[in-house]
Amino acid sequence: MSSDFIRLDRKKCVKCGFCIADCPTCVLEMGDNGPQIREDQCIECGHCVSVCPTGAIDNLRTPRAGQELINPEKLPTPEQAACFLRTRRSIRSFKKEHVPHETIDKLLNIARIAPTAGNLQGVHFHVIDNPGRLKEITAAIMAWAENRQSMAPHLASMVAFHRASGRDNVLRNAPCLILALMDESTGPLFRQNGKFMLTYAELYAPMIGLGSCWVGLVEAAAMSGDPQLLELLELPPGKIVTGAIVAGFPRYQHKRIPERHPLQITWVD
């Protein structure tokens, strides 16, 4: 990869230094002719190009040609944003309706732009929507949980309920399981990137008519190396599960916003 990746239009550059100040890894410094590469620690975040007020700088690793202009008029007001965030609910009852692959593609294409540690990104989405396989996955999770009932507060009750009723209280009969995968060599800190992206998916899902819910038991069982589950998941070689949600069309519409525990905050002067 070329180390000469910064392009500067000297006629447009006003030497404001915005690109230098906003670079997360201090790649740039001010030279006689404007910003120049100080050291190649570029993480390809695109901030230098995005923040430039005159369009003078370009970065071949995150080209300006691929960056959409931000239109403030399209952004929600603070009140609209707060309402949007407060009305998102975890959905556990789904219609018996297949979710088109095009809809999942739209969901995950937004999920992939979530912020990630070191801008590593590096998340591969693994989608399972075969009803028979999903039932087998629920059965495998319950079998795995039998001897781990103290792991979570309600796990023993979940196992007992499933055994007595046969109902799916793991995947909730959702038509689609979405896993965030990363390379098995990825360090623990960076494995959070999968959850960041799935959080974006959860937030965007209602905008395209979908509901979603976290399924931490799938992640826990997969990370423990449970052979029955891993066989059913059919992960690509060298990949590990770093997050899991289910998605589908909600059976019910929520009418109210339940309250949460009061805000707890500590200030340090």
DSSP string, 54-85: SS-EEETTS-GGGPPPP-GGGSPPHHHHHHHH
Q: What is the mean pLDDT of residues 125-145?
A: 96
Structural fold of domain 6-66: Alpha-Beta Plaits (3.30.70)
Q: What are the residue ranges spanned by the domains of the chain? A: 6-66, 79-248
CATH of span 79-248: 3.40.109.10
Contact 158, 145 (CB under 8 A): yes
pLDDT per residue over 49-58, tens digit each?
999 999 999 9
Q: What is the mean pLDDT of residues 175-198?
A: 95
pLDDT per residue over 214-239, tens digit each?
999 999 999 999 999 999 999 999 99
Q: Residue 218 — φ and ψ, nearest 5°?
A: -65, -45
Give the span between the Cα atoms of 46 and 50, in whole angstroms. Answer: 6
pTM score above 0.85: yes
Give the span between the Cα atoms of 68 and 64, in whole angstroms. Answer: 8
